[in-house]
Structure 1
């Protein structure tokens, strides 16, 4: 009997230890915040109530802005959905992760030609895979270019990504919002029942075309003197806002809002493809208004970025610059996960890091002719924002193996704007401020070279 005591004590210790480990894991899961990542699709940075638009009403996003660390001066890495989303997911610039446009060069069968590009892209660490590796359930809905939700590392989702079934850029996932929210709310129910922290990728095809808003909203925005397509776009912006209200309201209903980080950003800007009643200088050009989507101007690359986390993030309107590449390191730090050390972004919840940032950068590539393995081949513009200044630099490199050499830039035209005085970039100040042009041009050259592993 005495010889059984040590064995009994050992078994009890093992049992107690396993229970302690399970309790510790359960406690850890309970403490880690959920994450809801909201992405609008094709919405200009001005087109929200909280950003001061005189007509468009976005009451739910306005409420979120009041509860958030709000960056009115947020930027995306590229003015087009696919490279922009890829940069959010990886925390890298398009020329680093390789997705620079929407289509591979010569894409007759676009989905099939995407396969080698996606294979290379998914080798990079991602925000989603990092969260899942740290115990998160993750759901994909809406816009998603890089294969299926499984390919992206999600644990559940809507997009199948099968080329044989027309799978591309979201397929079945694009119904979210337009046809209800049940796939997302069902996932939230499951995660809550399993007592696991969750990540929701909510990227509805809104306010993107087709502009087919509910008639009640279209009637609201239709008025004499306003172009029909503008009225439809305005109505779509409010429709998107309503779906955000449904999602955020469900967090309240489930009593989990206080333990949920909500992130908001738009993939790229947009302006109605016609003469705009509020901007008579906006002219139609190849399907998009000039200086909007697919351009390096503010209407292409600027977006409000907001982060809400009750009890952890103080609501305030920050004057600091924010960037889409910051979201991966920010969320990793918030949940105690390890992001790659070499990511170029910062933790937006770190006030000191924000204050030390002097500039943000980005690119603009051709829209429809990516060259797999050569992300510099279709580069058109690089841009830099420094304080109130913004510089656009046209890239004229022909020998793409020497993209970082200074001769590539010698005859590249530039445009300089003061965004404080001229937020819609109407007056080029290049001739008036050659010192600013020289300083920011050199900053762009240095950033681009270093980002590509060159010290030249």
Structure 2
């Protein structure tokens, strides 16, 4: 999973570049910037650290991700807080290791009452700085039907749509929120947590993706690339 414990590094610059602010230096929060930047955090589920063209993968072609990379901010020395789903998500949102967040395994019916408790998230920090906050996609830090954990609204998100829907639907939901749910002149923090390329990978990538690969290369490679880059 591509994740980084970056919660305590807030975007603060009139030119909308990155200034690193430790937790003890919160006067640098975006509320004090003339034009705070919008923040879009996109999470790919179970993508490897090198699984993209711009990261130097020898086989995978990911032109859309490459374009996004060139226009985005890259943290090349960020690491996942854990090797599986729920703990790394908790670390991403809080900047804390699993033994500090209270989430140390993926949530399931066998998880007991394991959940984030008494921790601050990037959403709550930015919301207190005047940001509008929205979560769309996979949450996996609570199981409402089993009484495990708390929903996104408990951790600073004003709006949330906890769903395992395909990326195309999530992007449509996000653009719809931008058109009708966003408050004008208010900076936003949007956490777009995609399911792709988590297994099972759908093995029917479009012809244009198949053409990116030589006939001798395994079909699964372009299916994986499509899941990553679609």
Q: Normalising by the residue count of structure 2, what TM-score does the alignment of the two structures yield?
A: 0.71
Matching residue of 1:89: 93
**1:39-438 map, 5 Å:** 39-103=43-107, 109-110=109-110, 113-114=111-112, 116-118=113-115, 121-147=116-142, 148-159=151-162, 173-179=163-169, 181-190=171-180, 192-212=182-202, 214-216=205-207, 219-220=210-211, 224-239=215-230
Greater strand share, structure number: 1
Deviation at 1:176, TM superposition (A): 4.8
Contact 2:53 2:66 in 1 (8 A): yes
Deviation at 1:99, TM superposition (A): 1.0
Q: Distance in 2 between matches of 1:62 and 1:230?
A: 17
Matching residue of 2:28: none
Deviation at 1:45, TM superposition (A): 2.2
Unaligned runs of 5+ in 2: 1-30, 143-150
> 3-state DSSP class of the match of 2:74?
strand
Deviation at 1:29, TM superposition (A): 8.7
> 3-state DSSP class of the match of 2:167?
coil
Unaligned runs of 5+ in 1: 1-26, 160-172, 240-456
User: RMSD of the alignment, in Å?
Assistant: 2.7
Aligned residues: 191
Q: 1:216 and 1:143, CA in 2 relative to 1: closer, same or farther beyond 3 A?
A: same
Q: Distance in 1 between matches of 2:70 and 2:222?
A: 27
Q: Distance in 2 between matches of 1:63 and 1:174?
A: 25
Q: Distance in 2 between matches of 1:140 and 1:68?
A: 19
Q: Distance in 1 between matches of 2:168 and 2:119?
A: 32
Q: Distance in 1 between matches of 2:181 and 2:201?
A: 33
Deviation at 1:94, TM superposition (A): 0.8
Q: Distance in 1 between matches of 2:117 and 2:177?
A: 24
Deviation at 1:68, TM superposition (A): 4.6
Greater helix share, structure number: 1
Indicate the structure (1 or 2) with the bigger Cα radius of gyration: 1
Q: 1:41 and 1:218, CA in 2 relative to 1: closer, same or farther beyond 3 A?
A: same
> 3-state DSSP class of the match of 1:189?
helix
Matching residue of 1:387: none
